[in-house]
Amino acid sequence: MGTSTFAVSSSRDLDCVTVVVAGDVDLLSVATLRRCIGEALIDGCRMLVIDLSEVTFIDSAGLGALVAAWKRARVLRVEMVVWRPSHPVLTVLGLTALDHVLHVDVRDAHPAGHAESAPAG
> What per-residue confidence (pLDDT) applies to 92?
98
pLDDT per residue, tens digit, the chain (121 aa), is: 445 789 999 999 999 999 999 999 999 999 999 999 999 999 889 999 999 999 999 999 999 999 999 999 999 999 999 999 999 999 999 999 999 999 999 999 999 986 554 444 4
Model confidence, pTM: 0.89
Structural domains present in the chain: 7-105 (3.30.750.24)
| 80 Cβ neighbours under 8 A, 6+ residues apart | 47, 48, 49, 50, 69, 70, 73, 74, 102, 103
Rg of the chain over Cα atoms, rounded to whole angstroms, equals: 13
> What per-residue confidence (pLDDT) applies to 115?
53
> What per-residue confidence (pLDDT) applies to 121?
43
